[in-house]
Amino acid sequence: MATTSATTFSIGSTVSFGSRGNPLPQSKPFVARFTSPNSLASFSGLKAATYVNCESESSFFGKESSGALRGSFVPKAQKANQKSQNGLQPVASYKVAILGAAGGIGQPLALLIKMSPLVSALNLYDIANVKGVAADLSHCNTPSQVQDFTGASELGNCLKGVNVVVIPAGVPRKPGMTRDDLFNINANIVKTLVEAVADNCPDAFIHIISNPVNSTVPIAAEVLKQKGVYDPKKLFGVTTLDVVRANTFVAQKKNLKLIDVDVPVVGGHAGITILPLLSKTKPSVNFTNEEVEQLTVRIQNAGTEVVEAKAGAGSATLSMAYAAARFVESSLRALDGDGDVYECSFVQSDLTDLPFFASRIKLGRKGIEALIPSDLSGLSEYEEKALEALKPELKASIEKGIAFVQKQPVTA
């Protein structure tokens, strides 16, 4: 895009800076404007104007609180404005690798990450057909440089110096197939890829999408432990899709403005292990017992809803890519120093008697800064019972993942 003497950098429905599941009280929206005699770096075809506009009500990936904006974006905008006056441009500075980039999730995910202003390099890896994906994406006029890597011999180079690794690789679900049915195939894929991550970028944030997440995250943890590089603060099971679905379904059911809705989802990422905490919905809303049961079941079975609707032609790829991109953007913002980044994720946890558990977390430069235990206090009777009911199944899935690695020692 050609720039003029001043540009608009608008945080709204066009540009994403992620969602914050912020447990703090929400403030009223505000607008921050900064005049700039010079141009800011532009991306995604943003149109020229005479100010920088930041509105707290809207964001490409989710809602922003005005407190978060005042605390994080405004100083950055002022700093960017100062740089532009000195003739400098804001610079994207993070390197992201997608392992499984030619697949149904990988392709739309790569497109969404290519749109991020924080990414300087986007490395795409797959066992085949990734060269064309990279060529296609490279034509998008956004800051990141795209490179393709094909096959095991190029995997190491793909991962060198990477800050965030996203792993959607594996086979998708088909009609009648449970996430557990995917285990034998996807477990070995994740094991092999995480071994390469341990060898080439052990300090990177690792985002596991490959199902069954309840088992593949423990697999990744065991691999990293055997490699001697395990940092539980940097390993994440991406359960953001459960939150995205919960927010969407609740907003539709209660006729709420979607941008305002935030439903924490805890437990795991399969069937009854997915537990939306509807009693913790923000803004506060009342549900009948029937509505709670209907919404909970729909959120738990939403993946099957898509699989059946596609009638053998695939699983939830687009919504998964959207949710994963939101989590990647949140991670990048945290790495960039944003002090107000919250998401739900399946991580090593001590909030329950299970070694891994999905809950809201606070993200920072070094990964997980804190687990948020308050979501698990004051649950409804329905939620308390559901929480106890999911534990045996989630425990079995975790143990299955751990046992898989212990039976197949990691390659030195």
Of the listed ranges 6-15, 89-98, 389-398, the least confidently predicted one is 6-15
Q: pLDDT tens across 189-230, in order? A: 999 999 999 999 999 999 999 999 999 999 999 999 999 999
Of the listed ranges 46-60, 282-296, 299-313, 320-334, the least confidently predicted one is 46-60
In angstroms, the CA 375 to CA 266 distance is 9
In angstroms, the CA 371 to CA 49 distance is 41
Q: Percentage of the chain surpassing pLDDT 90?
A: 71
Among 343, 394, 145, smallest CA distance to 238 is for 343
State whether the Cα torsion 314-391-345-145 is positive or negative.
Answer: negative
Amino acid at 227: K
Whole-model pTM above 0.75? yes
Q: Which of 63, 95, 191, 269 is catalytic?
A: 269
The confidence band for 92, taking pLDDT boundaries of 50, 70 and 90, is confident
Which overall architecture, per CATH, does domain 94-407 show? Alpha-Beta Complex (3.90)
Is residue 269 annotated as a catalytic residue, yes or no? yes
Question: Where do the domains of the chain lie?
Answer: 94-407
In angstroms, the CA 18 to CA 326 distance is 5
Buried b (16+ CB within 10 A) or exposed e, 393-409: bbbebbebbbebbeeee
Q: Which of the residue ranges 51-65, 67-81, 301-315, 364-378 has the most confident prediction, judged by mean pLDDT?
A: 364-378
DSSP result, 117-180: TTEEEEEEEESSSHHHHHHHHTTS-SSPEEEEEESHHHHHHHHTT-SEEEE--SPPP-TT--GG
Of the listed ranges 7-11, 368-372, 399-403, the least confidently predicted one is 7-11
Residues 6+ apart with CB under 8 A from 336: 93, 94, 118
Question: What is the residue-averaged pLDDT of the chain?
Answer: 83
